[in-house]
């Protein structure tokens, strides 16, 4: 998610198509959240981010994770479409779970040094409305 403020958030999760065609984030499966910033120069979008949350922590992978940089090409028609060497990312008009998505991205996070949880801000649990 590219916020107008220059903040960036990404969530790796399962999506579920409802009977009415709308798409929601699964509340029963795990997710991985990354946060950071983005900037646009011409048609190029550069994202600097790090993984800040995993439902299941992985031994040897600290939280927050190492900072990464990714580059996308962006085009705008009715909405922005971005792509990188792995694929094309476009708007999903049937997605109806924006509030929950933003709560996942904006949530306070816990810390994990790769071996054990460490002191820091405790995680919040986004509240489902359904």
- Alpha carbons within 13 angstroms on the beta-carbon side of residue 35 total 15
Q: What is the pTM of this model?
A: 0.77
Per-residue model confidence as pLDDT tens for the chain (130 residues): 888 899 999 999 999 999 999 999 998 898 999 999 999 888 889 999 999 888 888 889 888 899 999 998 877 665 566 666 776 666 778 889 988 888 888 876 767 777 877 766 555 554 444 4
Per-residue confidence (pLDDT) for residue 118, from 0 to 100? 75
Per-residue confidence (pLDDT) for residue 81, from 0 to 100? 62
- The number of residues in the chain equals 130
The CA distances from residue 77 to 6, 73, 74, 80, 92, in Å, are: 20, 14, 10, 7, 14
Per-residue confidence (pLDDT) for residue 67, from 0 to 100? 95
């Amino acid at each position: 998610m590219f916020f107008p403020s220059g903040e960036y958030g990404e969530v790796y999760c399962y999506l579920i198509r409802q009977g009415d065609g709308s798409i929601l984030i699964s509340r029963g499966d795990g997710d991985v959240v990354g946060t950071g910033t983005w900037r646009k120069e011409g048609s190029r979008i550069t994202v600097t981010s790090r993984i800040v949350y995993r439902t299941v922590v992985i031994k040897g992978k600290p939280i927050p994770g190492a900072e990464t940089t990714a580059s996308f090409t962006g085009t705008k028609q009715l909405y922005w479409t971005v792509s990188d060497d792995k694929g094309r990312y476009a708007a999903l008009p049937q997605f109806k779970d924006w509030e929950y998505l933003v709560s996942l991205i904006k949530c306070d996070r816990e810390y994990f040094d790769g071996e054990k949880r460490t002191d820091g801000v405790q995680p919040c649990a986004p509240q489902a409305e359904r």
